[in-house]
Amino acid sequence: MITARDGVYFELHSFPFCYCSIAIYFGSLPSFLYSLSTPLTTLDLTMDNKSAFWLYPFSISFTRAKHIGFVQSVVVLTLASALIVSPISSVSSFQLSAFGPSRKEVNILLKVIFCLKMEVNKEKYAADLSSIKEAHARISSFIHKTPVMTSESLDAISGRRLFFKCECFQKGGAFKFRGACNAIFSLDDQQAAKGVVTHSSGNHAAALALAAKLRGITAYVVIPKNAPECKVQNVLRYGGQIIWSEAPVQSREEIATKVLQETGAAFIHPYDDGRIISGQGTISLELLEQAPLIDTIIVPISGGGLMSGVALAAKSINPAIRILAAEPKGANDAAQSKAAGRIVTLPETNTVADGLRAFLGELTWPVVRDLVDDIITVDDMEIIDAMRLCYEILKVAVEPSGAIGLAAVLSDSFRSNPAWKDCNRIGIILSGGNLDLEVLWASFRK
């Protein structure tokens, strides 16, 4: 990765244990000011978040870093100090391990930096590691600790080691139960007695109905008429009260507001809610315990609740971890938002992944903007092909939204991107498995 702009020269090979050279020349004052005025998110993604360094007009030059010990430590500490006071928070994916200090030292350093930065930026995010740990304590007796599966066949196909966190095995058939459970068990008794209300295309609805049932309260669920039948059946099975709406998000929201006013129930947004984000973040706590050596996590992105929780928890535990989002090309609002540096919504979406049609929210956007290292978009055929591999090799029944992480790993845009060629141990979240398979059963009845 080599980048140059306005007198600032920056070079970094981030192959740990191999070879490293870094050279940052003095930047001019105009370039410094220009950098400050440029939102990080509009920079070329191949630069990763290392562009944060452009802000600092100092110069260092090394080759063969491993021959230099003490000096590098000083450099690292200098960089660390600079990063701590930096107004930009997204430095966590930077690979310092090539600088000379051991990977462990670097990770401790990164962690200190990250924690300080998280503290500084606390008000920006709706959840943090402690709220996520609290959520885990609150919900762990209700949720399944889903297994992490591996497959040598899929490792061979992808050329990486893959660790599948099977949230499709979560209660209700999707990760959504974690957030719903945390939100519902966070309510005080008086609030809870009036019930909860939400709008959702299905998985959040079923999850909320199930969590409400566990607490013995009512869940009012606004569901668009085009939701998949099996997801609607899940809501009914768990005793949720269904209120139908039209497909557009606006219609859902209006009806949900009406129910809210009539019942006094607590509104629980499918993703733009700190309690939901904290609940989804518990996935990272488990995944990093089950597969502690992963260097990358790939997460399906829709409204960003799952993404935010996973990114906040994972980067707090291991700031060096890469967090990548996988998004359908037909609903690529998150990729467009990252590129534009602001929330972008789309007039319409068109994808087989019915669970990934929502847009980023006010609470999820800052996390996606700052902590997500890249968004990989894939088309529907890539999603179906990945689903097929999940069924035929992993033997896991995922829905299209659930398979998109595998689709991203197998996509050309991921494979050919040099920024990700050292992503060797990748956690993939198989987010859900609620899918109508009637065509399959009909074929058996013949």
Residues that bind its own copies (CB under 8 A): 144, 147, 149-150, 152-153, 166, 168-169, 171, 173, 230, 237, 352, 384, 387-388, 391-398, 433, 437, 439-441, 443-445
What three-state secondary structure class fits 427?
strand
**Residue 346, amino acid:** L
Choose between 203 and 364: whose C-beta lies nearer to its own copies.
Answer: 203
8-state DSSP, 23: E
Choose between 137 and 440: whose C-beta lies nearer to its own copies.
Answer: 440
Six-digit token string for 396: 């896991």
Minimum CB separation of residue 348 from its own copies in Å reads 21
Minimum CB separation of residue 170 from its own copies in Å reads 9
Minimum CB separation of residue 55 from its own copies in Å reads 47
In DSSP terms, 377 is beta-bridged to 327
Angle at 405 between CA 404 and CA 407, to 5 degrees: 60
**Residue 67, amino acid:** H
CA distance 444 to 267: 43
In DSSP terms, 224 is beta-bridged to 245
Stated as kind and residue range, the H or E segment containing 75 is helix 70-85
CA distance 83 to 211: 42
**Sequential DSSP letters for 264-296:** -PEE--SSSSHHHHHHHHHHHHHHHHHSTT--E
Minimum CB separation of residue 129 from its own copies in Å reads 27
Minimum CB separation of residue 168 from its own copies in Å reads 4
Minimum CB separation of residue 153 from its own copies in Å reads 7
Terminal CA-to-CA distance of the chain, rounded, Å? Answer: 57
Choose between 64 and 237: whose C-beta lies nearer to its own copies.
Answer: 237
Active site residue 28: no
Choose between 167 and 370: whose C-beta lies nearer to its own copies.
Answer: 167
Active site residue 176: yes
CB atoms < 10 A from the CB of 440, how many?
9
Choose between 226 and 443: whose C-beta lies nearer to its own copies.
Answer: 443
Residue ranges of alpha helices (H) inside 167-228 are: 176-186, 189-193, 203-215
Judge contact between 326 and 431, C-beta under 8 A: no
Choose between 231 and 269: whose C-beta lies nearer to its own copies.
Answer: 231
In DSSP terms, 374 is beta-bridged to 324
Six-digit token string for 199: 């709008």
Catalytic pick from 158, 200, 201, 245?
A: 201
Minimum CB separation of residue 209 from its own copies in Å reads 13
CA distance 201 to 171: 17
Choose between 106 and 387: whose C-beta lies nearer to its own copies.
Answer: 387
Catalytic pick from 176, 231, 315, 338?
A: 176
Cα atoms found within 13 Å of the Cα of residue 64, Cβ hemisphere only? 1
Choose between 104 and 395: whose C-beta lies nearer to its own copies.
Answer: 395
Task: Tell me the C-alpha to C-alpha distance, in Å, between residue 147 and each of 106, 157, 182, 286, 395.
Answer: 30, 22, 20, 9, 13
In DSSP terms, 220 is beta-bridged to 197, 241
8-state DSSP, 85: H
Active site residues: 176, 201
